C-alpha cells in the first residue's frame, strides 16, 4: 500500500478512536493533576511515622470541638441506650413560646414565635453545614427569580446581564469583603442612603455577621444558580408546554407539571454546588464574620500553617466524604430523571415592560422589587470597589491607576506587572476552556447511561469540587512542585504554564460535566442508535447528533470553565511562584501590601477585563445555542 493510502487512513483512524483517545488524555490529566496530589495529602491522614493508623480520625471524631454532640456517639458507638436517653432528655427540654420583639431602630413591635432548645453543640462540622445550608437557601432565593426573569422576559440588556451573571465568581475574597463593608458597613452606601431619610446609621455587619456572610455567599453563588437554571430553562421543550396548555392546563399548572420537572435537575445542581462551595468556604467567613464563624476549612488552613499535615489531611478527608456523599446522592437522583426527550426550542420571551399598564401589574412590580434587591446585593459591592479604586482619603484620584501604569513601564523582572497578569489570565482562561470542555464532555458521555457504576465514576469525577482548594494546593506543592521520587533516582516534577492550565482544567471540567450531563441523559437514545446503525462512529454520533442538541449546556459549561480559570487562586499562586505566569487575582493579592488602593485598581481591571470577556464568550457561544 502506498504512503498516501496510509496518510489518508490516519484521519479515519483518529475519528474512530477519537473518543478513546480523548478519554485516555482525560485520564492522564486527572491522574497526574488530581488523583496524585490528592492522594499525596490524603495518605498523610493515615500515616504516622511511617506506619498506618486511624488514630487521627479517632481523635477528630471524638472531639466535641469538631463534631459537637456527635463526639459522644463516635466515642461509644454501641451505647445506643445512653444516646437515646440523651436525645429524649433534649427533646423534652424544648419549649415554644410567643414573645413580642421590636424591630431595632423602627420601634415596631411584632409577635415572634420563639423555640427554646437546650442547645446542641454543633461543632465545627455542624456549624459549617449549618451556614452552608442557610447560604444555599439564600442563593436559591436570590438566584431563581433571576433565572425566571432572564428566561421569560425580553428587555434591553438582558443578554449582557445574563453574560455577567458569572462575574462575581472570579473575584478574590478580599475584594468582596471590602466591597461588602463599603456597602453594608456603618459608613457604607446603604447607611448613606438611609441617612438621607433620617435613619441610621446601623451596624448591619455587627448586628448579625452570619446574615451578612450568608448574603456574601449568595453574592458568589446565586449567579451560579441563576446561570445553571437559565441554561436549562432555555432548553425546555416549548411544544410540551403547548401540548399541556391545549389539553386545558392553566399556565400555572403547565409550569408546575411540565416546566418545573425539567428544571429540577438544574436547580438541584445549583443548590449542590452552592452547598459544597459554601461548606468549604474560607476567606469570606473570616473577613466578614471573624473567628466566631470559623469553618472546617479555616481549621484545615490553620493546621497546614502549623505544619500539622496529619490533622489537616484528616479534616480534609472527612470534608471530602461529605461533599462526595452529597454529590453521589444527587447523581442518583439525576440519573433517575432521564426519559424526557426534549428538543432545544426555547420558550418565547415576553417583553418586560410592553406598556405602562402592564408594568404596574403585580408580577411586573415584583420583578422591579427583585431588581432593586439585586442592585443592593450585586451592584453595590462591585460599584464600591470601583469607587474605592478612584478615591483616597482626600477625594477622587487616579494615582492608584498610575501605580499600575508605572509598574508596567518601570517594573523589574521579579515584580508583578499588570499587562502580563491580564494576558496570562486570558490565555490560561482560553486554554482551560479548550482543555476542560472536551474533558467534561468525555466524562459526561462515559458516565451517562451506565447505571449505578456510572454514577460512582461520575461522583469520583466530581472530586475537584469536593476537595478543598487549600488541600489541592498542598498536594500540588508536595506532589508536583517539590516532585515525587521515583525508582532509579528520578524525580517527577510538573510546574509552569502547562501545569497551571491543567490544574485549571481539572478544577473546571466538573462544571462542563454538570451542565452537559443532565441534557445528554435526557436525549432520546434512539437518535444516537439510528446514527450508529447508519454507520456513524460513536464520536461522529456525538459530534453531529448529541452535541448540537446539548449546545446550551456546553456553552454554559464553557463560560464556567473560563470563569473558574480566571478566578482560580490557590493552585495558581503555588504553581506560578517564582515564574512569570501569575494571573490577575494573584496580582491583586500581591499588590495589597499596606495600602489597598493599588489592589483595588487591579481588582477593577480584573472586573472589567473579565466582564468584557464574558460578554464576548456569550455572544460567540450564543451562535451555537438554539
Partner 1 sequence: MRRRTFVGSLTGATVAGFAGCLSRDDDDSNGDDSSDDAELAGDPESGTLTIATYDSMIDGNDPAGPWLTEAFEAAFPDATLEWTAPDSGLNHYIQLEEQDASMEADLYLGANIDDLARIDDALGDGGLFRELDADRLDRADRIRDGLDMGDPHDRVLAFDTGYISLVYDETVVDEPETFDDLLDPAFEDALIAQNAQTSDPGQAFLLWTIDAYGEDGYLEYWDDLDENGVRILDSWSDSYYGAYMEEERPMIVSYSTDQVFASAEGNDLSRHQIAFLEGQGYANPEGMGVFERASNPALAYTFMDFVLSNDAQAEIAQRNVQFPAVADEYVDLDDEFDQYAHEPPEAVTVGYEQLRGNLDEWVDDWARERAGH
- For 421-486, the DSSP string reads HHHHHHHHHHHHHHHHHHHHHHHHHHHTTSHHHHHHHHHHHTHHHHS-HHHHHHHIIIIIIS-EEE
Q: Which is nearer to partner 1, 346 or 390 (CB)?
A: 390
Smallest distance from partner 1 to CB 500, Å: 10
Q: Kindly tell me which of 148 and 380 has the beta carbon lying closer to partner 1.
A: 380
C-alpha cell at 58: 479517632
Q: Is residue 292 close enough to count as binding partner 1 by CB under 8 A?
A: yes
Chosen residue from 100, 291, 396, 409 binding partner 1 by CB under 8 A: 291
Nearer to partner 1, 253 or 595 (CB): 595
Residues 243-282 that bind partner 1 (CB under 8 A): none
Q: Is 551 exposed, middle or buried (0-12, 13-18, 19+ CB in 10 A)?
A: buried
Residue from 241, 286, 442, 551 binding partner 1 (CB under 8 A): 286
Beta strands 350-351 and 153-154: pairing type? parallel
Using CB under 8 A as the binding rule, whether residue 2 contacts partner 1 is answered as no
Q: Confirm or reject binding of residue 144 to partner 1 (CB under 8 A).
A: no
Cβ-Cβ contacts under 8 Å for 251 (sequence gap 6 or more): 245
**Looking at 105-113, 343-351, 439-447, 496-504, which segment touches partner 1 (CB under 8 A)?**
496-504
Whole-angstrom distance, CA of residue 299 vs CA of residue 418: 33
- C-alpha 280 chain-centroid distance: 11
Secondary structure letter of residue 1 according to DSSP: -
Judged by CB, which is closer to partner 1: 450, or 497? 497
Q: How far is the CB of 39 from partner 1 (least distance, A)?
A: 16
In the complex, least distance from residue 150 CB atom to partner 1, rounded to whole angstroms = 32
- 416 — phi, psi (to 5°)? -90, 120
Map residue 110 onto helix, strand or coil. Answer: strand
Exposed, middle or buried, 159 (CB in 10 Å: 0-12/13-18/19+)? Answer: middle
Cβ-based nearer residue to partner 1, 271 or 502: 502
Are 190 and 184 within 8 A, CB to CB?
A: yes
- Complete DSSP assignment for 582-597: --HHHHHHHHHTT-SH
Does 117 bind partner 1 (CB under 8 A)? Our answer is: no
Taking CB under 8 A as the binding criterion, the range among 6-14, 232-240, 250-258, 288-296 that sits at the site for partner 1 is 288-296
Could you tell me how many residues of this chain bind partner 1 (CB under 8 A)? 84
CA distance linking residue 568 with residue 561, whole number of Å:
10
- Candidates 53, 55, 243, 577; binder of partner 1 (CB under 8 A) is 577
The binder of partner 1 chosen from 53, 208, 485, 530 (CB under 8 A):
485
Q: Which one of 150-158, 497-505, 511-519, 539-547 is the stretch in contact with partner 1 (CB under 8 A)? A: 497-505
Using CA atoms, how far apart are residues 569 and 573, in angstroms rounded to an integer? 6
For residue 401, state whether it binds partner 1 (rule: CB under 8 A): no
Q: Phi and psi for 127 in degrees, rounded to 5?
A: -65, -40
Contact yes or no for 194/106 (Cβ under 8 A)? no
Per CB under 8 A, 17 contacts partner 1? no
- Asked if residue 518 lies in contact with residue 334, where contact means CB atoms within 8 angstroms, the answer is yes
Footprint on residues 340-399 left by partner 1 (CB under 8 A): 392-395
Window of 69-77, 287-295, 315-323, 367-375 that interacts with partner 1 by CB under 8 A: 287-295
Range in contact with partner 1 (rule: CB under 8 A) among 79-87, 228-236, 416-424, 613-621: 416-424
Rounded to the nearest 5°, which phi and psi values hold at 392? -135, -170
Query: Does position 121 bind partner 1 by CB under 8 A?
Result: yes
Nearer to partner 1, 107 or 393 (CB): 393
Angle at 124 between CA 118 and CA 127, to 5 degrees: 60
> Binders of partner 1 among 162-221, rule CB under 8 A?
174, 177-178, 180-182, 185-188, 203, 205-206
Minimal distance, residue 122 CB to partner 1, in Å: 5
Q: In this chain, which of 294, 508, 528, 555 binds partner 1, going by CB under 8 A?
A: 294
Q: At what angle do helices 362-374 and 123-152 cross, to 10 degrees?
A: 130
Map the footprint of partner 1 across residues 310-349, applying CB under 8 A. none
- CB–CB of 154/375 below 8 Å? no
Provide the minimum distance between the beta carbon of 210 and partner 1 in the complex, in angstroms, as a whole number.
11
**Considering beta carbons, is residue 112 or 207 the nearer one to partner 1?**
207
Nearer to partner 1, 243 or 415 (CB): 415
DSSP letters, 317-380, are: HHHHHHHHHHHHHHHHHHHHT--------PPPPEES-SSHHHHTSHHHHHHHHHHHHHIIIIIH
- Chain centroid offset of residue 319 CA: 16
Q: Which is nearer to partner 1, 106 or 291 (CB)?
A: 291
User: In terms of CB distance, is 147 or 177 closer to partner 1?
Assistant: 177
Mark 464-483 with x for binding to partner 1 (rule: CB under 8 A) and - for no binding. Answer: -------------xx---xx
Which of the 8 DSSP states describes residue 298? H
Q: Which segment (8-16, 286-294, 460-468, 524-532) binds partner 1 by CB under 8 A?
A: 286-294
Nearest distance from C-beta of residue 586 to partner 1, angstroms: 9
Cα 613 from Cα 565, distance rounded (Å) = 13
> Which CB atom, from 235 or from 572, has the smaller least distance to partner 1?
572
Phi, psi (degrees; rounded to nearest 5) at 99: -125, 170
Residues 23 to 82 in contact with partner 1, rule: CB under 8 A? 28, 32, 65, 68
Pick from 58, 260, 498, 620: which binds partner 1 (CB under 8 A)?
498
The rounded distance, in Å, linking the Cα atoms of 127 and 138 is 16
In angstroms, give the least distance from the CB of 464 to partner 1: 19
Amino acid at each position: 500500500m502506498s504512503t498516501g493510502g496510509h496518510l489518508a487512513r490516519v484521519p479515519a483512524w483518529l475519528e474512530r478512536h477519537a473518543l478513546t483517545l480523548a478519554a485516555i488524555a482525560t485520564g492522564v490529566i486527572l491522574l497526574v493533576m488530581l488523583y496524585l496530589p490528592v492522594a499525596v495529602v490524603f495518605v498523610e491522614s493515615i500515616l504516622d511515622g511511617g506506619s498506618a493508623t486511624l488514630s487521627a480520625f479517632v481523635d477528630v471524631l471524638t472531639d466535641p470541638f469538631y463534631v459537637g454532640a456527635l463526639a459522644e456517639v463516635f466515642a461509644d458507638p454501641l451505647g445506643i441506650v445512653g444516646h437515646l436517653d440523651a436525645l429524649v432528655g433534649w427533646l423534652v427540654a424544648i419549649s415554644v413560646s410567643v414573645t413580642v420583639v421590636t424591630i431595632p431602630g423602627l420601634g415596631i413591635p411584632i409577635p415572634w414565635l420563639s423555640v427554646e432548645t437546650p442547645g446542641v453543640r454543633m461543632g465545627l462540622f455542624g456549624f459549617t453545614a449549618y451556614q452552608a445550608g442557610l447560604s444555599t437557601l439564600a442563593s436559591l432565593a436570590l438566584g431563581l427569580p433571576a433565572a425566571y426573569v432572564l428566561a421569560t422576559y425580553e428587555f434591553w440588556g438582558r443578554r449582557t446581564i445574563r453574560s455577567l451573571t458569572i462575574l462575581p465568581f472570579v473575584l478574590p475574597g478580599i475584594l468582596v469583603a471590602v466591597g461588602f463593608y463599603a456597602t453594608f458597613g456603618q459608613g457604607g452606601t446603604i447607611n448613606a442612603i438611609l441617612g438621607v431619610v433620617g435613619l441610621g446609621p446601623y451596624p448591619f455587619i455587627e448586628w448579625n455577621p452570619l446574615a451578612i456572610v450568608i448574603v456574601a455567599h449568595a453574592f458568589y453563588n446565586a449567579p451560579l444558580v441563576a446561570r445553571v437554571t437559565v441554561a436549562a430553562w432555555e432548553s425546555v421543550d416549548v411544544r410540551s408546554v403547548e401540548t399541556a396548555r391545549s389539553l386545558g392546563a392553566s399556565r400555572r399548572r403547565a409550569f408546575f407539571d411540565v416546566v418545573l420537572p425539567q428544571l429540577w435537575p438544574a436547580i438541584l445542581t445549583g443548590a449542590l454546588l452552592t452547598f459544597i462551595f459554601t461548606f468549604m468556604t474560607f476567606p469570606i467567613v473570616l473577613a466578614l464574620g471573624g473567628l466566631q464563624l470559623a469553618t472546617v476549612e479555616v481549621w484545615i488552613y490553620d493546621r497546614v500553617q502549623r505544619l500539622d499535615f496529619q490533622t489537616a489531611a484528616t479534616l480534609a478527608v472527612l470534608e471530602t466524604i461529605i461533599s462526595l456523599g452529597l454529590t453521589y446522592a444527587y447523581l442518583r437522583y439525576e440519573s433517575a430523571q432521564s426519559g424526557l426527550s426534549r428538543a432545544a426550542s426555547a420558550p418565547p420571551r415576553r417583553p418586560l415592560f410592553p406598556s405602562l399598564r402592564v408594568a404596574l401589574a403585580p408580577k411586573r412590580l415584583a420583578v422591579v422589587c427583585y431588581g432593586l434587591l439585586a442592585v443592593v446585593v450585586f451592584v453595590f459591592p462591585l460599584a464600591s470597589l470601583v469607587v474605592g479604586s478612584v478615591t483616597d482619603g482626600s477625594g477622587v484620584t487616579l494615582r492608584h491607576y498610575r501605580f499600575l501604569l508605572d509598574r508596567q513601564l518601570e517594573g523589574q523582572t521579579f515584580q508583578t506587572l499588570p499587562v502580563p497578569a491580564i494576558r496570562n489570565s486570558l490565555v490560561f482562561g482560553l486554554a482551560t476552556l479548550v482543555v476542560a470542555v472536551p474533558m467534561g464532555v468525555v466524562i459526561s458521555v462515559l458516565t451517562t447511561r451506565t447505571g449505578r457504576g456510572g454514577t460512582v465514576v461520575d461522583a469520583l469525577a466530581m472530586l475537584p469540587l469536593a476537595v478543598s482548594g487549600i488541600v489541592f494546593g498542598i498536594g500540588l506543592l508536595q506532589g508536583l512542585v517539590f516532585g515525587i521520587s521515583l525508582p532509579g533516582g528520578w524525580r517527577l516534577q510538573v510546574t509552569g504554564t502547562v501545569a497551571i492550565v491543567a490544574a485549571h482544567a481539572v478544577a473546571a471540567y466538573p462544571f462542563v460535566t454538570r451542565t452537559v450531563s443532565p441534557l445528554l441523559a435526557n436525549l432520546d437514545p434512539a437518535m444516537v442508535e439510528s446514527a450508529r446503525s447508519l454507520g456513524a462512529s460513536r464520536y461522529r454520533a456525538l459530534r453531529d447528533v448529541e452535541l448540537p442538541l446539548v449546545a446550551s449546556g456546553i456553552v454554559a459549561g464553557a463560560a464556567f470553565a473560563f470563569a473558574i480559570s480566571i478566578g482560580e487562586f490557590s493552585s495558581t499562586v503555588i504553581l506560578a511562584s517564582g515564574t512569570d505566569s501569575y494571573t490577575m487575582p494573584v496580582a491583586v493579592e500581591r499588590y495589597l501590601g499596606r495600602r489597598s488602593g493599588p489592589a483595588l485598581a487591579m481588582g477593577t481591571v480584573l472586573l472589567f477585563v473579565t466582564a468584557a470577556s464574558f460578554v464576548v464568550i456569550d455572544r460567540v457561544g450564543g451562535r451555537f445555542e438554539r
